[in-house]
């Protein structure tokens, strides 16, 4: 069976450095940091007092009050990016078969905010059980896609993937496969996360996973720097409109790029730490190249997982060295997380948007906050440390690795008929 070709025809983004795709991209190119002190709750007693929150965001600017009240921020963020991606794609939903239009979204946690707020209210009010009838609909992760399919009448595949920080990668990969196999014509896919809450910050602090650079939050997310001390929590979402090529061409759609391949693996090593050898990452990148029918030399740009953790950055570099060999010196590599923090389940989606815009503009955003490159990392690689890099990006690759040892690699390539 010959697989159908799949292209990206629309983008939506809601990030700590921009509440739409254009602002996000402009901020990435300028090297803007989204880190600042936490406002969602009082962080005074926490080891980490900062995160990458959305800025100037009011859900009522996007959704009616009653609709917003029924949704956890996790679902709100996804809905808003789907709305932007739909506009960008110029897809007329009334003119397509909605049985063949789906929505697949990744989230690592789901409705964490609603659960936290309800539990706090219960314990603060003398254990009085006054729960919202919408509580479980806010908490259940699957309602992220449930609400989207309801709003737009989408009757194709609709579900959530959850593999920690690889969630959006799995969602995009599933959407790719379903369209390739002819099971759908269009799928809205990506990831969302809204977990800047007390239990998440406190829990990650207990694991010693978060940066505690409270005296200088904007420079705390510093992938590849010798003084990196952990990741910075982020929030937001991104959506890609994946579309079968002939369907897109028939309606004269704008095409950002083609989705070329996916690789997936498990470390089977440790619940939280990556395999120091990078073995699982090697496997996911190798699979993705094979799926795309490409050689390592075909890749121009890698948007790294690059979380700013001592073990994670090192193991990913070791994996890239094993897969790409001497060609690694010719790549441009960067970390979007240096600016937006770690959006966890949404990571692969917001980073895919960065790759697709790099292809469009022949411009790769910088990695910020690297003052002293870790001597354990390859010193002759181009980590885009000195501002945007002008490069014709024909093939871009993004890695996402999650707690539990989940690894996903996605490859995009410039569209050619």
Active site residue 342: yes
**Cα 85 to Cα 350: distance, rounded to the nearest angstrom:** 13
Instruction: Please tell me whether residue 119 adopts helix, strand or coil conformation.
Output: helix
- Which phi and psi angles does 10 have, rounded to 5°? -160, 150
- Which phi and psi angles does 246 have, rounded to 5°? -60, -35
Active site residue 165: yes
Catalytic-labelled residue, pool 165, 247, 317, 365: 165
CB 50 within 8 A of CB 217: yes
Please state, in angstroms and as integers, the Cα–Cα distance from residue 8 to each residue in 20, 156, 256, 398, following that order.
17, 18, 6, 15
**Cα 237 to Cα 81: distance, rounded to the nearest angstrom:** 7
Half-sphere exposure in the Cβ direction for 349 (13 Å, CA): 43
Active site residue 305: yes
**Cα 210 to Cα 187: distance, rounded to the nearest angstrom:** 34
Catalytic-labelled residue, pool 305, 317, 365, 406: 305
Q: Is the dihedral of CA 171, 172, 177, 178 positive or negative?
A: positive
Kindly list the catalytic residues: 165, 305, 342
């Amino acid at each position: 069976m010959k697989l159908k070709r799949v292209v990206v025809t629309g983008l939506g983004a809601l990030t700590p450095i921009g509440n739409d795709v254009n602002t996000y991209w402009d901020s990435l190119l300028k090297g803007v940091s989204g880190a600042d002190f936490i406002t969602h709750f009082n962080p005074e007693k926490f080891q980490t007092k900062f995160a990458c929150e959305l800025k100037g965001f009011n859900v009522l600017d996007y959704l009616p009050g009653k609709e917003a009240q029924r949704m956890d921020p996790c679902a709100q963020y996804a809905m808003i990016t789907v709305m932007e991606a739909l506009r960008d794609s110029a897809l007329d939903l009334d003119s397509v078969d909605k049985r063949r239009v789906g929505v697949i979204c990744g989230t690592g946690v789901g409705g964490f905010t609603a659960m936290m707020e309800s539990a706090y209210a219960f314990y603060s009010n003398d254990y009085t059980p006054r729960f919202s009838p919408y509580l479980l609909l806010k908490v259940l992760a699957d309602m992220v896609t449930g609400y989207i399919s309801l709003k737009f009448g989408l009757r194709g595949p609709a579900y959530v993937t959850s593999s920690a920080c690889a969630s959006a990668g799995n969602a995009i990969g599933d959407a790719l496969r379903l369209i390739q196999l002819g099971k759908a014509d269009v799928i809205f896919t990506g990831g969302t996360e809204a977990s800047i809450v007390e239990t998440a910050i406190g829990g990650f602090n207990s694991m010693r996973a978060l940066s505690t650079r409270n005296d200088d939050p904007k420079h705390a997310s510093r992938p590849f720097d010798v003084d990196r001390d952990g990741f910075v929590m982020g929030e937001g979402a991104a959506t890609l409109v994946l579309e079968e090529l002939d369907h897109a061409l028939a309606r004269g759609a704008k095409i950002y790029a083609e989705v070329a391949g996916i690789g997936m693996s498990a470390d089977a090593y440790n619940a939280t730490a990556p395999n120091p050898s990078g073995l699982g990452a090697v496997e996911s990148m190798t699979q993705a190249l094979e799926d795309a029918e490409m050689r390592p030399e075909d890749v121009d740009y890698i948007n790294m997982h690059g979380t700013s953790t001592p073990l994670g950055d090192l193991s990913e570099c070791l994996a890239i060295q094993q897969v790409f060999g001497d060609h690694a010196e010719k790549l441009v590599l960067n970390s979007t997380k240096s600016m937006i923090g770690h959006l966890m389940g949404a990571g692969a989606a917001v980073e895919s948007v960065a790759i697709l815009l790099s292809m469009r503009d022949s411009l790769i955003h910088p990695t910020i906050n690297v003052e002293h490159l870790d001597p354990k990392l390859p010193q002759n690689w181009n980590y885009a440390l000195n501002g945007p890099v002008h490069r014709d990006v024909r093939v871009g690759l993004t890695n996402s690795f999650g707690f539990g040892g989940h690894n996903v690699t996605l490859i995009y390539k410039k569209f050619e008929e």
